[in-house]
Amino acid sequence: MSPAAEGALAAAADLARRNAARVTILNVIDLSTLGDSMVVLRLGRDLRADAMPRLEELSKTLSHDVPVEIKIIDGVAAVSIARYARDHAIDLSPPSQ
């Protein structure tokens, strides 16, 4: 993980801790430019299988007082992240009292 990503994860964990929220680690697999052949489908499956252990290890770097959710989705990163956040009501607003 890059230093910038490490800093972002630490900031997300701190924000979640202060707001009684959770951190969602979202991995987007973008195979959109490769078509939809069986080879590409297998590649996607293999990438998901390879990603999960790495994401689980990453989640262990957060303190135990921060709930973590790991999701792997397919799509174009920017679009998929925005759609996932919208569909799951993920935002930076503090929880309602």
**Domain holding 31: CATH number?**
3.40.50.620
Q: How many domains does the chain have?
A: 1
pLDDT of residue 37: 79
Domain that holds residue 22: 3-87
Do 46 and 92 meet the contact criterion of CB atoms below 8 Å apart?
no
Instruction: Please indicate, yes or no, whether the overall pTM of this predicted structure exceeds 0.85.
Output: no
Q: Give a yes or no: residue 9 inside a domain.
A: yes
Q: Which pLDDT belongs to residue 96?
A: 59
Examine residue 92 and state whether it is found in any structural domain, yes or no: no
pLDDT tens by residue, 34-93: 877 788 878 888 888 989 998 898 888 887 889 999 999 988 989 999 999 999 988 776
| Closest by CA position to 90, among listed 30, 39, 22 | 22
